[in-house]
Each structure stands twice: as C-alpha cells, then as structure tokens.
Amino acid sequence: MIIIKVMLKYLYGILLVSMVMVMSLRSGLYVWRTLNEFVHPYPPFHPEITECSTELLGTQGQLRGLYNYRSLGKPCQKE
C-alpha cells in the first residue's frame, strides 16, 4: 500500500510537470495567435445581420440573439 502511494506521488509529480510543459508550449501558440490577430484581424461576425434586417426574422439561437442585440432600440417592423 505504501509503495503504491509513493508511486502515485511520483506519478503526480510527473503529470504536474508535464502539464506545465504543455502549458508553456501553448503559451508559444498564444504569442503566434496574438501577433496574427494584429496582422490579420477577424472579419466582422455575421455582417449580414443588421438592424431590422427582415430576412433574419424567425431565426433562432445565436443569430437571433445577435439580431435582437443589434436591433434593440430601433423601430423595426414586427414579425
């Protein structure tokens, strides 16, 4: 039992160090992503969803939420 516990503690140490190593590699990826975002900005998210755009009335989920957000306070025609 004691041997198993000691082995598990070693395993814990190895896993923890591995996790930190993977994380530091991922930080490298974040540097690349950050630089890339400055060079190539994201395109606008669903630019077709404009205030009161009637073709999107009736859609559900994320797009509907976006439509509601962009149209809030605008006198749009009701569905």
Partner 1 sequence: MSKRITILIYFLLAINVLYVLSGVIHIPLQSVDVVGIWLFKAKAFFVEGGLPLQTLKNPDFILFHPQYPLLLPFLYSLIYFGLGRVWELPILLLYPIYYVLILFLSFKVFKKMKLSTAASLIYVYIYSMLSPLLGQAGRLHAGSADIVLVLLSWIAVYFWQRSQLTKKRTLINQSAWIITCLVMVASQIKLEGLFIGSLIFSLPLSKQHKLLLLGLASMPTLLWSYLVKVLALPTDFALVIPSAWELIDRSRLIMSWTIREMLNYKNWYIFWPLFWLGLTVTKWPKSHPEILGLAQAAFLAAGAFALVYLILTIDAQAEVGSTVSAHLGSSIDRVLFQLTPFIYPIFVFKSQQIWLKIKGLFQG
CA 10 – CA 51 distance, rounded (Å): 59
AA letter at 42: Y
Interacting residues with partner 1 between 7 and 46 (CB under 8 A): 8-13, 15-16, 19-20, 22-24, 26-27, 30-31, 33-34, 37-38, 41-46
CA 25 – CA 31 distance, rounded (Å): 10
Taking residue 18's Cβ as centre, other Cβ atoms within 10 Å add up to 10
Nearest approach in angstroms of CB 11 to partner 1 is 8
Contacts to partner 1 by CB under 8 A = 5-6, 8-13, 15-16, 19-20, 22-24, 26-27, 30-31, 33-34, 37-38, 41-46, 61-62, 65-66, 68-69, 72-73
